[in-house]
Structure 1
Amino acid sequence: MNPLTEVVLTRFSDAPLRIGTRTSTLARVQSSHVAELITKLVPDVAIEIVPTRVSADLWPADLAEIGGKGAFSREIDHALTSARIDIAVHCLKDVPGDVPLAEGTSFGAYLPRDDVHDVVVTRGDVPFADLPSGSLVGTSSVRRHAQLSIHRPDLRIERIRGNVDTRLSRLDEKDGEYAALILARAGLIRLGLLDRYHEVLPLEFRGAEEGIVSMVPPVGAGVIGLQARDSDTPVMRLLDELNHPLTARHVLAERTMLHMLLGHCNSPIAGHASTGSDGQMGLFGMVFNRDGSAFVRSHAWGDHSDPASLGARVAADLLHRGARDLIAATRK
């Protein structure tokens, strides 16, 4: 028996390892994947998945009214700090950058990053470019709203809340009002829905004059983060074995930028880190106003061993270019 197996089985000798998750289909799929990864490392450990209905999944309106993105994790955080669960599974893009994690907890692992592209899914498989002026497009993201407004200001863009499968069912309604949705490609992959018609949007920012709709991803796109109590040494050792170092470095650069910008849930902020063939890490960041009519952008390269400094440099440049005023305006 290897040391990790021994310490984990000893820790969970009389109770299962409990994985906390939201109740959506996507969240359950992600948590099942985490359970499979743990079982591969420690085959004999008993695992229980504990679904928790969170505030954001119950609220149909603006998330700012119930505390922003923190509403995605508030109840799960409480379950973790009160020791009702041992690991919390999060889509990292839904973890706010302007508030600290629950006291006494931290992310022990970031799983390898999935596809970070956004996609357009249309009713009746109509090409996005052929959607008539005035068509209704649904998205729950202010970041997507701002960027889409740059390229197709003739479309009506409205908030659509709910889980991925719920949104798709609304698009497919016979007399439904939505002509298209903007969704994360990673979510479609995890749900096995990639076979339905979709158009992948390029990550590189394109101006309206280029005539190509692009979509710079959010901070933490495609990443599943695993959070645990700092004091739970056996679980933290387990998570360290699951951690993907390259993804963790990219996440640190992106979230350092986000933290320094002090953006909130209604701030259209995009950021994406990547590592080139030469080993240098690049970070591209953007901040928009609500309708995309004003924005600032920055890009820098740095040593992959110091991602936090790279994130800080990009954030400082964005602030120098006027990001603070754009973010402040979205609070009004």
Structure 2
Amino acid sequence: MTTPSPSLPSIVIATRESQLALWQAEHVQSLLRARGHAVALLGMTTRGDQILDRTLSKVGGKGLFVKELEVALEEGRADIAVHSLKDVPMELPQGFALACVMEREDPRDAFVSPGYASLDELPHGAVVGTSSLRRQVLLQALRPDLQIEPLRGNVQTRLRKLDEGQYAAIVLAAAGLKRLGLHERIRAVFTPEQMLPAAGQGALGIEIRGDRHDLREALAPLAHERTWLTVTAERAVSRAMGGSCSMPLAAHGQWDGDTLSLRAAWGDVAARVPLVRAEGAAPVHTLEQADALGLAVAAQLRTAGAVGAL
């Protein structure tokens, strides 16, 4: 292991204590240590981890996963927080900043089932577990006959509930399963055409206090420019729609040379109206251009009938 350099800032990482969150924090820890930083972890349990009997959309949204970590940053008990970017609210509280977006893992959704190889194989009326409103409306569009039931908890808890027979199948982020070495649990991966991913899915973001310019410099080598541009466009769609986990919204960007193509989808959980889709493309070289593309696609969604949060 690289010997820490006394000239570089030592760093404490605030992290949730789930196995996936710890993997993410330890991954960042190893990268920073390799660059000469002394790095320690501060494990924490968030309200999002504690409240498992209700869907996030009913108890305050995904911000419940980051609030305690931000308090640790504010109080100086930690220097950075590592997040799954899809869990980070579209607007950070005043005084905080997203200092780094790392290279993305697989952004797609995974079909997980002990008895069926794909969504198409599920029998009529089969129970599928997910607490994501986005996944719910996209599953309903693919298979209106399925029974979608809530599913909360960390990855291991969700897999246990599946194995106990509470569900015929569940849908999880492919990135989380791959990071935990659970590739074999993936029976099929949904293409973006089948199930458009969530904004930021598969990407890690590192949050700091806005005044920590020393940390911006330390984290710069970990950033991945194209991932940052892509997720900025995706998150702009969600932000413009008032997006949170209480909104059934998807946004996903893909590159063709220097052109970023961005697709979005919005659905009605009650299935009273068909799925609304929108897309746009533009050359993107800056975060401002990425943001503009996202706003343009969000405007298309609204024109086509999507309803944003009030």
Match of 2:163 in 1: 172
- Supply the distance in 2 between the matched residues of 1:198 and 1:228 (Cα, whole angstroms): 37
Number of residue pairs the alignment of both structures matches: 302
- Supply the distance in 1 between the matched residues of 2:18 and 2:270 (Cα, whole angstroms): 30
Match of 2:189 in 1: 200
| Greater radius of gyration (CA) | 1
CA contact (8 A) 2:110 2:186 kept: no
In the alignment, structure 1 residue 304 sits paired with structure 2 residue 295? no
Give a deviation string over 1:229-275, Cα, whole Å, max 9, x none. 12122211111121111111111111111111112322110001121
Match of 1:28 in 2: 22
Match of 1:131 in 2: 122
Match of 1:233 in 2: 213
Q: Sequence identity of aligned pairs in percent?
A: 37
Give a deviation string over 1:37-72, Cα, whole Å, max 9, x none. 111222xx3211111101111112022333211111
CA contact (8 A) 1:122 1:198 kept: yes
- Supply the distance in 1 between the matched residues of 2:117 and 2:304 (Cα, whole angstroms): 39
The one-letter code matched in structure 1 to 2:195 is M
Match of 1:256 in 2: 236
- Supply the distance in 2 between the matched residues of 1:320 and 1:102 (Cα, whole angstroms): 30
CA contact (8 A) 1:135 1:156 kept: yes
The one-letter code matched in structure 2 to 1:248 is W
RMSD: 1.7
What are the ranges of 5 or more consecutive residues in structure 2 without an aligned counterpart? none
Give a deviation string over 1:175-232, Cα, whole Å, max 9, x none. x22111101110110000002341111111xxxxxxxxx1100000110000111212
Matched residue SS, 1:35: helix
What are the ranges of 5 or more consecutive residues in structure 1 without an aligned counterpart? 205-213
The 5-angstrom pairing of residues 263-274 of structure 1 reads: 263-274=243-254
Give a deviation string over 1:76-122, Cα, whole Å, max 9, x none. 1111111111010100111122xx31321111110101101111111
The one-letter code matched in structure 1 to 2:159 is L
Question: Structure 1 residues 251, 193: closer, same or farther in 2, change over 3 A?
Answer: same
- Supply the distance in 2 between the matched residues of 1:247 and 1:21 (Cα, whole angstroms): 22
Match of 1:57 in 2: 49
Q: 1:151 aligns with which of 142, 149, 154?
A: 142
Q: CA deviation at 1:126?
A: 4.8
The answer to which of 124-133 and 48-57 deviates more is 124-133
Structure 1 residue runs of 4+, over 6 Å off?
Answer: none
In the alignment, structure 1 residue 284 sits paired with structure 2 residue 267? no
Match of 1:46 in 2: 38
TM-score by length of 1: 0.86
Q: CA deviation at 1:294?
A: 2.3
- Supply the distance in 1 between the matched residues of 2:40 and 2:270 (Cα, whole angstroms): 44
